[in-house]
């Protein structure tokens, strides 16, 4: 995600999440092929905030992790459009490959 912070958008498409939850979602969605360290994650979050692709929303507890308040992030409409575009581009070459092999 350090090279391409857009990977941080995908987990936020369906829900507001805090940093640790974003790290878990990325690992889960890539079957463990991509794991984010805290430094990479938070520098990417900063990049996404500055680009107005995500917003920070009110801090709150995650009852599963304890009473500490966590910063939550929400994807913006611009971030959602970019995530959709990136997903379509990722699928397009695969579709093209399938049509050429049939």
The CATH number linked to 82 is 1.10.10.10
pLDDT in tens, 34-87: 888 889 888 989 999 999 999 999 776 666 666 677 889 999 999 999 988 887
pLDDT (0 to 100) of residue 58: 79
Predicted confidence band at 101 (pLDDT cuts at 50, 70, 90)? Answer: very low
| Dihedral angle computed from the Cα positions of residues 56, 58, 59 and 60, in that order, rounded to the nearest 10 degrees | -130
How many domains does the chain contain in total? 1
Q: Residue 42 and residue 48: Cα distance in Å, rounded?
A: 10
Domain holding 78, by residue range, is 5-101
pLDDT (0 to 100) of residue 53: 95
């Amino acid at each position: 995600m350090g090279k391409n912070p857009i990977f941080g958008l995908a987990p936020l498409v369906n829900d507001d999440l805090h940093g640790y939850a974003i790290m878990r979602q990325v690992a889960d969605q890539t079957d463990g092929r991509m794991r984010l360290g805290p430094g990479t994650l938070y520098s990417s979050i900063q990049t996404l905030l500055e680009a107005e692709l995500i917003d920070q929303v009110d801090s709150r507890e995650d009852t599963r992790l304890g009473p500490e308040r966590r910063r939550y992030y929400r994807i913006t409409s611009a971030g959602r459009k970019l995530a959709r575009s990136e997903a379509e581009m990722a699928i397009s070459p695969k579709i093209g490959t399938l049509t050429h092999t049939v």
